[in-house]
Amino acid sequence: AQKVTQAQTEISVVEKEDVTLDCVYETRDTTYYLFWYKQPPSGELVFLIRRNSFDEQNEISGRYSWNFQKSTSSFNFTITASQVVDSAVYFCALTSYGNNRLAFGKGNQVVVIP
Amino acid sequence: DTGVSQNPRHKITKRGQNVTFRCDPISEHNRLYWYRQTLGQGPEFLTYFQNEAQLEKSRLLSDRFSAERPKGSFSTLEIQRTEQGDSAMYLCASGDTYYGYTFGSGTRLTVV
């Protein structure tokens, strides 16, 4: 079975502060894929990043960065210098090669206070 | 292509009524998925299509639920004899692990 744990439910930060969202995953498969999605109040899930299990390089995209560590089964997400537009629910998700289901965590509600 | 389109965006129905939702995936995607999301939870997998074939169904998909994808293009999800517990956001996605999964804006169902 595959499982994703996002421990923090709601995180409030003041604008321009950094915020890190933790994602811990469980899988028995050796080839798997991790994702982060953003869900604004409109409801649509917006794709942010995909990582496969063989690529442990950290990634930076603008104010977003991701830290993938297989040793601790974690795929954490940091928003640097947060803005009000970053207020949303962020989901970490997992699937494996040959699997057609995404397993989602419960999400992190990020509230950026101006 | 404008992404994955879902209709309607909102649906309010009385308990016991039937409802049908539609999903138009990205045209070049062969795979289409339905997920259900309840308040405060992440989306949960319901079912998956490869072209017109429904290849996988979750235990969440009770006998009252049926999904179709005629001709491998758009898909419909029907719920018969709705119950209050069916109130949720129903999300459709297309794509795969290589290209990524693109989700629609969802249909929010409220059963009163």
Residue B100 forms contact with A (CB below 8 Å): yes
- State the pLDDT confidence band at B68, using cuts at 50, 70 and 90: very high
CATH of residue A21: 2.60.40.10
Q: Decide: B83 and B62 in contact? Cβ < 8 Å.
A: no
Chain A residues with a Cβ under 8 Å from any Cβ in chain B: 4, 9, 33, 35, 37, 42-47, 50, 52, 91, 93, 95, 97, 100-107
- State the pLDDT confidence band at B1, using cuts at 50, 70 and 90: low
- Which residues of chain A does B44 touch, with a Cβ-Cβ cutoff of 8 Å? 104
Residue B58 forms contact with A (CB below 8 Å): yes
CB contact under 8 A, B45 and A105: no
pLDDT of residue A99: 87
Strand, helix or coil for residue A71: helix
The nearest CA of chain B is from the CA of A89 a distance in Å of 10
Q: Is the pLDDT of residue B66 over 60?
A: yes
Beta strands in A1-114 (DSSP E): 3-5, 10-14, 19-21, 24-26, 32-39, 46-52, 59-61, 64-69, 74-79, 88-96, 103-104, 108-113
Beta strands in chain B (DSSP E): 5-7, 10-13, 19-24, 31-37, 44-50, 53-57, 65-68, 75-79, 88-96, 100-103, 107-111
Residue of B nearest to A48 (CA): B100
Q: Which of B4, B2, B101, B83 is closest to B43 using CA atoms?
A: B101
Q: What pLDDT, in 10s, does the model give residues A41-74?
A: 888 899 999 999 988 888 888 999 999 999 999 9
Nearest-angstrom CA–CA distance, A112 and B102: 26
CB contact under 8 A, B108 and A45: no
Q: Decide: B91 and B44 in contact? Cβ < 8 Å.
A: no
Percent of chain B exceeding pLDDT 90 equals 85
The nearest CA of chain A is from the CA of B24 a distance in Å of 14
Q: Decide: A26 and A3 in contact? Cβ < 8 Å.
A: yes
- State the pLDDT confidence band at B93, using cuts at 50, 70 and 90: very high
pLDDT of residue A58: 84
Instruction: Look up the domain containing A96 and give its range.
Output: 3-113
Tens-binned pLDDT, residue by residue, of chain A (114 aa): 899 999 978 999 999 999 999 999 999 999 999 999 999 988 889 999 999 998 888 888 899 999 999 999 999 999 999 999 999 999 999 999 888 899 999 999 999 999
Query: What total of structural domains would you count in chain A?
Result: 1
Pseudo-torsion of CA B49, B54, B57, B62, nearest 10°?
120
Nearest-angstrom CA–CA distance, A13 and B45: 32
Percent of chain B exceeding pLDDT 70 equals 99
- Which residues of chain B does A35 touch, with a Cβ-Cβ cutoff of 8 Å? 100-101
Strand, helix or coil for residue B84: helix
Nearest-angstrom CA–CA distance, B69 and B67: 7
Burial grade of A80 (CB within 10 A; 0-12, 13-18, 19 or more): middle
